[in-house]
Amino acid sequence: MSDRLKVGIIGAGRVGPVLGAALAGAGHEVVGITRGSDDDRLEAILPGVEVCEATDVVARSQLIVIAVPHDQLEGLVSGLAEVGAWMPGQLVLHTDPAFGVEVLTPALMKGAIPLAIHPAITFTGASIDLRALAGAFAAVTAPVPVMPIAQALAVEIGCEPVIVAEAERPRYAEAISTATEFSRSIIEQSTELLRAAGVAEPGRYLEALVHTTVDQALAAGGETPPAG
């Protein structure tokens, strides 16, 4: 995007501050963020950014990034609409994989522009995530007239945008959950078995095996590779 935006972040967990840092790296100005549970981590990722209430974040921002837990998103957007926080022309972007832009309807009704961008990485909340974003894809959902804006923002945080239709967001979210939760569960189970078998560092032992297995599965497009 050619225009530099004043960016506000609602949600100071693992995702919001990192996306704020990515947008700042693209030349935008992060003007406020809501309070999180780890002030030191927040300061390390977004040094000097003012911590304020959600209504203040919205009031001073042209782009608002909402990165809150799934069960809080709908209520947050509606609540801010009820107090008259949203303003015409603001870009309102959420990062939840399961929702498209319909969840942002209360903001849309106040004249805001709804965008849904989900970067397909597992966030740690540390600066290492910025490098991970540079090699990732992002699911983008937006009204057709503003789709180029959503795609440009995805590129600016380092991702390659992939359009996911509103109706397909639940299926997309299921795919993401399956890939992350199932993988984590299987690896935890494997490390425990190796530890019980006397392997001192099961995580390191599995590292190359897991990476090569995943690489083969991805290259095969989900097909089972031939034995040997």
Query: For every one of its 228 residues, what pLDDT tens digit does the chain have, with 9 covering 90 and above?
Result: 558 999 999 999 999 999 999 999 999 999 999 998 888 889 999 999 999 999 999 999 999 999 999 999 999 999 999 999 999 999 999 999 999 999 999 999 999 999 999 999 999 999 999 999 998 999 999 999 999 999 999 999 999 999 999 999 999 999 999 988 888 888 899 999 999 999 999 989 988 888 788 788 878 875 544 444
Q: Where are the domains of the chain?
A: 6-164, 171-219
Topology (CATH) of 6-164: Rossmann fold (3.40.50)
HEC string of the chain? CCCCCEEEEECCCCCHHHHHHHHHHCCCEEEEECCCCCHHHHHHHCCCCCECCHHHHHHCCCEEEECCCHHHHHHHHHHHHHCCCCCCCCEEEECCCCCCCHHHHHHHCCCCEEEEEEECCCCCCCCHHHHHHCCCEEEEECCHHHHHHHHHHHHHCCCEEEECCHHHHHHHHHHHHHHHHHHHHHHHHHHHHHHHCCCCCHHHHHHHHHHHHHHHHHHCCCCCCCCC
Predicted model pTM: 0.88
